[in-house]
Amino acid sequence: MNEKPKSRGDLLFSLMEKFTPIIAIIGALIISSAIILLIGEDPIQVYKMMFGLAIGNRDGWGNVLFRATPLIFTGLAVAFAFQCGLFNIGAEGQVYVGSFLAAFIGFSFTNFPAIILIPLTIIASAMGGALWATLPGILKAKKGIHEVIITIMMNWIAASFTFYLVLIYKAPPTEAMKAANMPQMIPQTSEIALSARLPRIATLLTKLNISFPSHNPLNVSFFIALIAAFAIYYLLWKTTLGYEIRAVGFNRTAAEYAGINVSKNIILAMMISGALAGLVGTNEVMGYKFRWRQEIFINLGFNGIAVALLGKNHPLGVVLAAILFGTLSYGGALVNIYTAGKIPRELIMVIQAVIVILVVVSDEIIKRILLRRKSIQ
């Protein structure tokens, strides 16, 4: 029997569902404009300054893409788990563990050449996140324990455990500190070896005679993030494993009746999700600070949830959403400086939160309208 063709109304609402992120962004900017007006500033000038400073020059773009890179990894981590019907709240903890393991390899094997140490450190970063996500995956698959509860608890364990490890492997005080008899105030590991560091984009572009600010932190990790996004797209939509993972996420019972090993796919999905989160270490440890410091990872995992929601759990959407959040983050910081603190950086958090709320609300409203129309027909 032929399926009944969709009406114009159904097609319109289906189209609107695809564009809810754009609607949410516009709505968030409008709502934030009201807040800016209450502060006594001109919203148009504030937005012009924010986006102009962030993406109006090469240095701005470099900082935006640098800030977007860890969000691509954590956004992909959350989105991948979503595709299997899992809500991975533990990306934060997986970031801590994966990035610490990357730092550990980087400062432990200092005699290894770059051709060996860089891939080894990248693999360690992914493996740390994957291992930390394995237990929630097993408990979900074998015991039915909800992954949200387990991953939230494991975030706290990861934060405390890595902090403890830093106290063991902390960097020695500098000569100046020794002379002043000062302790190391910020718990951090020793620097990773030069052969474990990812090159900055500025260094690569200089070799091609392309001018780019040498101080800009954008590094090769951004390209690793793009490769990861493409790999996840290919895995999910072009492979049998990806089909099984999406089938489990769509209907777990139906997938089991179809002969798909649900438990295996849940565990694999959580491990791959954790590996993606762990890869944040390539940007923050291998390409930026060259050491592990806890504060540089705070909230990256939770912001990944917002990025995944805005990106509709699609790799391309995640990349675009991460770049938007990177633009807001860097542009907001500059606006705060240029307005002498009149426009607080917390306004950016408000914009991001409103965007996510509007995406979720818009999706829910459209779904209910479509269901109502179908029930009437």
| Winning range, highest mean pLDDT, from 23-27, 265-269, 308-312, 370-374 | 265-269
Report the range of poorest mean pLDDT among 145-154, 174-183, 319-328. Answer: 174-183
Contacts of 193 (CB under 8 A, 6+ apart): 106, 107, 109, 110, 112, 117
Neighbours of 3 (CB within 10 A): 5
Q: What is the pLDDT of residue 129?
A: 97
Q: What is the pLDDT of residue 353?
A: 85
Q: Higher-confidence residue: 178 or 200?
A: 200
> What mean pLDDT value characterizes the chain?
89
Contacts of 163 (CB under 8 A, 6+ apart): 187, 294
Q: What is the DSSP string of 96-126?
A: HHHHHHHHHHHHH-TTS-HHHHHHHHHHHHH
Q: What is the pLDDT of residue 339?
A: 84
Say if CB 273 and CB 88 are below 8 A apart. Answer: yes
Task: Please check whether residue 15 lies inside any domain of the structure.
Answer: no
Q: How far is CA 150 from the centre of its chain?
A: 20
Task: Please check whether residue 374 lies inside any domain of the structure.
Answer: no
**Mean pLDDT value across residues 326-344:** 89
Q: What is the pLDDT of residue 238?
A: 96
Task: Please check whether residue 201 lies inside any domain of the structure.
Answer: yes
Cα gap 339→328, rounded to integer Å: 16
Q: What is the pLDDT of residue 183?
A: 54
Q: Higher-confidence residue: 128 or 350?
A: 128
Token pair recorded at residue 4: 């009944």
Name the nearest CA neighbour of 125 among 100, 147, 108, 144.
100
Q: Is the predicted pLDDT of residue 250 greater than 50, yes or no? A: yes
Q: Give pTM, 2 decimals.
A: 0.92
Task: Please check whether residue 376 lies inside any domain of the structure.
Answer: no
Q: What is the CATH number of the domain that holds 85?
A: 1.10.3470
267 exposure class (CB count in 10 Å sphere: 0-12, 13-18, 19+): buried
Q: What is the pLDDT of residue 375?
A: 64
When computed from its CA atoms, the radius of gyration of the chain, rounded to whole angstroms, is 22
**Mean pLDDT value across residues 298-305:** 91
Cα gap 85→265, rounded to integer Å: 11
Residue 263, amino acid: S
Task: Please check whether residue 133 lies inside any domain of the structure.
Answer: yes
**Mean pLDDT value across residues 189-193:** 93
Give φ, ψ of 267 to 5 degrees.
-65, -45
Q: Higher-confidence residue: 368 or 20?
A: 20
What residues are paired with 189 via a beta bridge?
170
Q: Is the predicted pLDDT of residue 64 greater than 80, yes or no? A: yes
Q: At what angle do helices 91-108 and 300-310 cross, to 10 degrees?
A: 130
Q: Is the predicted pLDDT of residue 1 greater than 50, yes or no? A: no
The percentage of residues in the chain with a pLDDT greater than 70, rounded to a whole number, is 89
Q: Higher-confidence residue: 115 or 341?
A: 115
Report the range of poorest mean pLDDT among 23-32, 140-149, 257-266, 342-351. Answer: 342-351
* Total domain count, the chain: 1
Q: How far is CA 235 from the centre of its chain?
A: 19
Q: Is the predicted pLDDT of residue 16 greater than 90, yes or no? A: no
**Mean pLDDT value across residues 167-182:** 64
Name the nearest CA neighbour of 312 among 24, 10, 57.
24
Cα gap 136→270, rounded to integer Å: 8
Cα gap 251→248, rounded to integer Å: 5
How do residues 71-98 score in pLDDT, each as one tens digit? 999 999 999 999 999 999 999 999 999 9
Q: What is the pLDDT of residue 355?
A: 85
Q: What is the pLDDT of residue 340?
A: 82
Task: Please check whether residue 138 lies inside any domain of the structure.
Answer: yes
How do residues 100-126 score in pLDDT, each as one tens digit? 999 999 999 999 999 999 999 999 999
How do residues 198-249 score in pLDDT, each as one tens digit? 999 999 999 999 999 999 999 999 999 999 999 999 999 999 999 999 999 9
Q: Higher-confidence residue: 315 or 298?
A: 315
Say if CB 188 and CB 292 are below 8 A apart. Answer: yes
275 exposure class (CB count in 10 Å sphere: 0-12, 13-18, 19+): buried
Token pair recorded at residue 328: 């807001």
Task: Please check whether residue 112 lies inside any domain of the structure.
Answer: yes
- Tell me the three state secondary structure of residue 316: helix
Range of the domain at 73: 20-368
Task: Please check whether residue 205 lies inside any domain of the structure.
Answer: yes
Cα gap 140→33, rounded to integer Å: 43
